[in-house]
Structure 1
Amino acid sequence: AVTRAVRGRGVLVAEVRYRHRGWNGARADAAKDAETALNDLRERIGSVPVVLLGHSMGGRAALRAAGDPAVRGVVALAPWCPSGEPVEHLGGRRLYLLHDETDRVTSARESWDFVRRARAAGADAVGIPMRIGGHAMLRGADLWHRRAAELTAALLSHG
């Protein structure tokens, strides 16, 4: 959906491949892999505006990596945002966190708390309640895809 939304606009869509399964405590492997991908992108094509999009642990990794100067914003779908997750690095970033309140894997309440804390740190953060989909986003998948694509395209258009 994102690829279609930005087609013909000179946008590269790339995917982070995790080296390890899971977050792995303080190692935060997924976040490190996202940061490595940003550095690899910079080496390949120079400094360009970046929007990070991630689901669940990928949303957490995207939010952690958002301190990179190239990152314009983040779209996080049903992100895993445990209390105490750092937000200080998010000042000046636009963040969209989408979450279905019936999600039983990750907590919408923790996402909304993250949004409040990110705002206090200077981020332009928005929590978007979704009314369908649960964690896997299977029911209403077209809505989730459309919203992710629209928000990603909007973030790329700003600035």
Structure 2
Amino acid sequence: MAQQATPVRTARLGRPLGPEPATVSGVVLLLPAGDETSHRRPSPVFAAASVRALGRRLTRAARHEGLAAHTVHYRLRGWNGNEANLARDAEWAAEEAVRRYGDVPVCLVGLGMGGRAALRAGGHQGVNSVLAIAPWLPEEDVAASPEPVKQLVGRQVLIVHGTNDQRADPELSFRLAARAKKANRKVCRFEVHSDGHGLHQHRDEVHALAENFVMGALFGRSFARPLEDALAAPPPLGLRMPLASGFGHH
């Protein structure tokens, strides 16, 4: 009796969030959090829940623009060292978006370890912007090569991080942003004072900032003044921009 081959796990895009536009003119790929090391399969329900609220907000904001937003379902839950599984899945997702929708700009939006994947996969030719929320980054060991930033040249990049994050060190995202800013002036970073990894206290403001960035990066809408200022400011000012309480509330 022939042995059945173990099916190869593949990453996949979830169903589009919100109503599917007749014509797609921009794509958001939502990259959920993951683990540093794990070869287990992620829970699709949990993964989708962590990014769904933001994805729905973005599709509502772009209902007249033709936005397709998909959650990326990873093959495995972990980054897994040099395998960089989540980054590979993010690159695959960008390639798949281009295959499905053609030559339209793609924004990678990642949370936690998904933020690291978004930054790492930002060099894909279809990607024009990267949003990393509370990105988990490795300690910068002098002996090891630091997290790369050259792939972000030519992209608009926003990092958002809570100053009280106990799971993903905000100082590491500041250092990465500082290195990225030297190669690409279109990099900025906002600090959410006294908030933790989940950014629960200021979720409305974080989502409003994310919406403003994504709509500007994909569809050319005007950036809000604080975002414009952060992109224009020299380091470290534009990399330690405080996210004001009430941002986005009219």
| TM bucket normalised to smaller | over 0.9
Q: Which has the higher contact order (CA 8 A, sep 6+)?
A: 1
Following TM superposition, by how much is the alpha carbon of 1:21 offset from its aligned partner in structure 2, in angstroms?
0.9
Which residue in the other structure is 1:112 paired with? 174
Q: Which has the higher helix share?
A: 1
Is 1:10 aligned to 2:66, yes or no?
yes
Following TM superposition, by how much is the alpha carbon of 1:157 offset from its aligned partner in structure 2, in angstroms?
2.5
Q: Quick one: distance in 2 between partners of 1:58 and 1:2?
A: 18
The alignment covers a number of residue pairs equal to 159
Query: Structure 1 stretches (4+) deviating beyond 4 angstroms?
Result: none
Following TM superposition, by how much is the alpha carbon of 1:80 offset from its aligned partner in structure 2, in angstroms?
1.5
Write out aligned runs for 1:13-92 (5 A): 13-82=69-138, 83=140, 84-92=146-154
Q: Give TM-score, length-normalised by structure 1.
A: 0.93
User: What is the CA RMSD across the aligned residues, in angstroms?
Assistant: 1.5
Between structure 1 and structure 2, the one with the greater Rg is: 2
Following TM superposition, by how much is the alpha carbon of 1:123 offset from its aligned partner in structure 2, in angstroms?
4.9
**Maintained 8 Å contact 1:95/1:123:** no
3-state SS of the aligned residue for 2:69?
coil
Letter in 1 for 2:110: G
Q: Quick one: distance in 2 between partners of 1:96 and 1:141?
A: 16
Identity of paired residues, percent? 38
Q: Give TM-score, length-normalised by structure 2.
A: 0.61
3-state SS of the aligned residue for 1:51?
strand
In structure 2, the gaps of 5 or more residues are 1-56, 141-145, 222-250
Superposed CA deviations along residues 51-109 of structure 1, whole A, max 9, x for unmatched, are 11111111110111110111111111001133311111111111100001110110111
Following TM superposition, by how much is the alpha carbon of 1:156 offset from its aligned partner in structure 2, in angstroms?
1.0
